[in-house]
Amino acid sequence: MNIPALSDTLFDLIRQQPNAGPGTAYLSREVEAYRSEPNTALFYRVFTAIPRFVGKQTLTVDKESAQRLNALRSGFSVEGWSVDRLARVWWLLQLPADDPTAYFSTVENLFRAAEMNELVALYSALPVLAYPEHWRFLATEAVRSNIGPVQEAIMLHNPYPAEQLDEPAWNQFIMKAFFTDKPVEHILGFHERANEHLARIVTDYARERRAAGRTVHPQLWPLVKPFASEADRTELEHLFNA
């Protein structure tokens, strides 16, 4: 992943937003100060202060920028983000990654101290952080969260879970998305990571819902269909209304 090119593309997107002048001037000034004399106090201060300077309006993303981002980082999308969310992810890319211990400590401290919108930005940044395997536990923590925007940041339009979660964590991730009524069609890897164990979990879940007189989500069947034997296909199709 070409981090400098990705950083430049994100900054260009910030600059393209209406009334972006004061915000981009602030970010340019702070990143110059940080690069000339890196220190964690400055890094934390800017991460926290960003919304006051760039605003919280919803991003406008042109097709060319969206395609460029996906080319630089497959599956990475900023559609529907706010400007401050984007700017915080951009700021995280400025953190030097040459010292893993310092890098982990700085980012983990941000996670520990974060309020909701900061957590949304941090989880949105997982696909572009260095040492991607290091953040798996934090990703599973987001799945367990009961804060809707935080769940959505990790679940929707985010390539990180499909790439990094092991099978048990992935299966828990998918079921939590159904339990919390997330639009599962926006989960990357939803079909590609279907597995036999998940199919059994989904089938049990569907049977419980039928027994309780409740509806069965139509997107559950695609997770079961590849693993349905000829012997039980008819019963399963009836169960899922397929």
Rounded CA gap, 212 and 58, in Å? 41
And the tokens for 152? Answer: 């959505």
pLDDT for position 199: 95
Residue with tokens 């042109």: 62
- pLDDT tens digit sequence for 146-203: 889 999 999 999 999 999 999 999 999 999 999 999 999 999 999 999 999 999 999 9
In this predicted structure, what is the pLDDT of residue 72? 95
Please state the domain extents for the chain.
3-164
pLDDT given for residue 234 in this prediction: 79
Q: The tokens 């007189």 sit on which residue?
A: 213
Give the residue-averaged pLDDT of 101-111: 97
Dist CA 157 CA 185 (whole Å)? 9
d(CA 58, CA 199): 37
The Cα–Cα gap between 175 and 198 comes to 9
Return the structure tokens found at 97: 């990654």
- Split at pLDDT 50, 70, 90, the class of 242 is low
Q: For the chain, give the percent of residues with pLDDT over 70.
A: 99
Query: What are the residues whose beta carbons fall under 8 Å from the beta carbon of 126, sequence distance 6 or more?
Result: 132, 135, 138, 139, 154, 158, 160
Structure tokens at 217: 């989500």
